[in-house]
Structure 1
Amino acid sequence: MTPSPSAVPSTAAGQPLTAPTEIPVALSSASVYPLSVHDAFAVSHDLGYDGVEIMVTNSSISQNPDTLRDLSERYQQPILAIHAPTLLLTQQVWGKAWTKIEMSAAMAAEVGASTVVTHPPFRWQTGYAENFAEGVKTIAEQYGVTIAVENMYPWRVRGREAKAYLPHWNPVPEPYEHVTWDFSHAAIAGMDSFEQILKLGDRLSHVHLTDGTPNGKDEHLLPGEGTQRCAEALSYLAGAGFKGVVAIEVSTRRSRGAGEREEQLKQTLDFAREHLRPKAPVGGPSSSLGA
């Protein structure tokens, strides 16, 4: 496997995906669940997304770079990010924790994706959690990709916080060079995404656009349906010169009737495009964001 020659998203024909001032909007394959990865490419194409983010799961297609490349070419949808199988539900995918990260980075390089999304280590992952920041940096350099650690949220048992992550579920104060920000996770944690994005500055490399409420559930609502300042955050990113990708990661599993899922995903795409139009920064530092 060889690293992608460029971190700039491009079509299968090698042409630039968007104008330099535009922020690409990707469709996460998680957004079409329980439909397949194949469906994610088809929906992304039909609705006019700029590309896809592949969440690696138990699905054999999500683990196969050759099949993913074929789907990317067939639907003219570049793969903009790979989400490593670091969820509890994917513990059996690709073996040990470091193997998951390395195989995700290798597949990202092979399919031309510039970013790998990963979660912070679980406390019980001995030999992985203790050296996570250094190990992630080494693997990223080896494969020529960005590995962006995603913000999570506190687990609560009988009303008390259980320490599930090491060193913490919040990546902002940790020594990670690159971070993925998820609005639904921020809502559970009681955090203001707009404020945290300002704090992250250039370390923000990838965004999971969704929404949520502080009710303890990872809802992944459509933007505007929760309590997060999604529109304000996107407008800031547009004005600040964010260099990463905004990936739509909303839940459509309760969709009923023909076309309802597509309507929700088109509505979310329109929301993203509207608020990502380049404009003056809302506030905060004027330096460019992302890597």
Structure 2
Amino acid sequence: MSDASDRGSKPQLRVSLSTSSVYPGSTASAFEAAARLGYDGVEVMVSIDDVSGDIEAVKSLSDFHEIPIVSVHAPCLLVTQRVWGTEPWGKLHRSAEMALEVGAEVVVVHPPFRWQRDYARGFVDGVADLEKEYAITVAVENMYPWRTGKREFQAYAPGWDPVREAYEHVTVDLSHSATAGEDALQMAKTLGPRLAHLHLTDGAGSPKDEHLVPGRGTQPAQALLEHIAASDYDGEIVIEINTRKAADQQVREADLLESLAFARLHASR
């Protein structure tokens, strides 16, 4: 009886769409798709699309489509190394400023690349200082070793696994955990209240970081959603899948709808 009475006492978890999920489509097309398909919000991946890093532009998209921006993903990818300049701390400060301007509560960041020595050396403390300065959640994302054949390269510092570091808040990405050979459910359980953000996707363990539709890989996506739904988790669930190889727009939207339905079904409270 207690289970039945507890059900519904917690707010339903939101399911939002990362703008990267429509690539090579534009940031604008991601907002349009998210609103039309019934998503609860949008995560803006600051990318080589100029609109993604334009605060006024994304605010206008959010207002026009009447859908909130729940998080900002800082430009941490290899392909975005020159977006917003080349100084890494400058990128994170600008991401935090953008989040405050657009009403988002979370900034997602990747750990530094190993060759960014000075940045990496002060990263853990710097993230903590950034959270205090802006009163915002900065959630460091799990990554993975880079593999080529039998060779493995540790590309991130202080490491690809944020569970082992003293970050206050962490983002778990199920495609990255698959590539790393880790169990995302166990990561979530180990993190406990440090789990602040979820990139819902999937992977089958390929070194290529697949970002499959959740349920199509080997990660325990269903069990993870059920775990956080039963917990006090109050962060965001963000669909971050790869639709670049979709045959057409209809197939891409079918993947986005399947991902949304999967999340809503298994994260229901």
TM-score range, shorter-chain basis?
over 0.9
Given that 1:155 and 1:163 are in contact with CA atoms closer than 8 Å, whether structure 2 keeps it comes out as yes
- Quick check: 1:80 aligned with 2:70? yes
Task: Identify the residue that residue 156 of structure 1 maps to in structure 2.
Answer: 147
- Quick check: 1:107 aligned with 2:98? yes
Given that 1:109 and 1:144 are in contact with CA atoms closer than 8 Å, whether structure 2 keeps it comes out as no
Percentage identity across paired residues of the two chains: 48
Q: How far is the alpha carbon of 1:126 from its aligned partner?
A: 2.3
Given that 1:149 and 1:171 are in contact with CA atoms closer than 8 Å, whether structure 2 keeps it comes out as yes
Task: Identify the residue that residue 235 of structure 1 maps to in structure 2.
Answer: 226
Structure 1 segment 236-251 matched on structure 2, within 5 A: 236-251=227-242
Question: Whose helix fraction is larger, Structure 1's or Structure 2's?
Answer: 2
Change beyond 3 A, Cα 1:158–1:275: closer
2:179 to 163, 169, 188: 188
What does the per-residue CA deviation read over 1:40-64, in whole Å, with 9 as the maximum and x for residues that have no partner? 1100000110000000011111111
Specify every segment of 5 or more residues in structure 1 that has no aligned partner in the other structure, as ranges.
1-18, 279-291
Local SS of the residue matching 2:119: coil
Question: Whole-Å Cα distance in 1 between the matches of residues 248 and 147 of structure 2?
Answer: 35
Given that 1:194 and 1:232 are in contact with CA atoms closer than 8 Å, whether structure 2 keeps it comes out as yes
What does the per-residue CA deviation read over 1:193-240, in whole Å, with 9 as the maximum and x for residues that have no partner? 111110000000000000001121211000111000000000010000
Q: Structure 1 stretches (4+) deviating beyond 3 angstroms? A: none
- Quick check: 1:145 aligned with 2:136? yes
What does the per-residue CA deviation read over 1:172-203, in whole Å, with 9 as the maximum and x for residues that have no partner? 01011000000000001111111111000000
Q: In structure 2, what residue type is equivalent to 1:141?
A: K
Structure 1 segment 50-65 matched on structure 2, within 5 A: 50-65=40-55
Question: Whole-Å Cα distance in 2 between the matches of residues 251 and 216 of structure 1?
Answer: 15
Q: In structure 2, what residue type is equivalent to 1:251?
A: N
Q: In structure 2, what residue type is equivalent to 1:271?
A: F
What does the per-residue CA deviation read over 1:91-130, in whole Å, with 9 as the maximum and x for residues that have no partner? 0111211011110011001100000000011111122100
Local SS of the residue matching 1:259: helix
Question: Whole-Å Cα distance in 2 between the matches of residues 219 and 55 of structure 1?
Answer: 17
- Number of equivalences: 260
- Quick check: 1:254 aligned with 2:254? no
Change beyond 3 A, Cα 1:59–1:257: closer
Given that 1:21 and 1:241 are in contact with CA atoms closer than 8 Å, whether structure 2 keeps it comes out as no
Question: Whole-Å Cα distance in 2 between the matches of residues 76 and 217 of structure 1?
Answer: 35
- Quick check: 1:222 aligned with 2:213? yes
Q: In structure 2, what residue type is equivalent to 1:182?
A: D
Q: In structure 1, what residue type is equivalent to 2:53?
A: Q
- Quick check: 1:36 aligned with 2:26? yes
Given that 1:118 and 1:149 are in contact with CA atoms closer than 8 Å, whether structure 2 keeps it comes out as yes
Specify every segment of 5 or more residues in structure 2 that has no aligned partner in the other structure, as ranges.
1-8
Local SS of the residue matching 2:101: helix
Question: Whole-Å Cα distance in 1 between the matches of residues 148 and 208 of structure 2?
Answer: 13
TM norm structure 2: 0.94
Question: Whole-Å Cα distance in 1 between the matches of residues 159 and 108 of structure 2?
Answer: 17
Question: Whole-Å Cα distance in 1 between the matches of residues 76 and 44 of structure 2?
Answer: 13
TM norm structure 1: 0.87
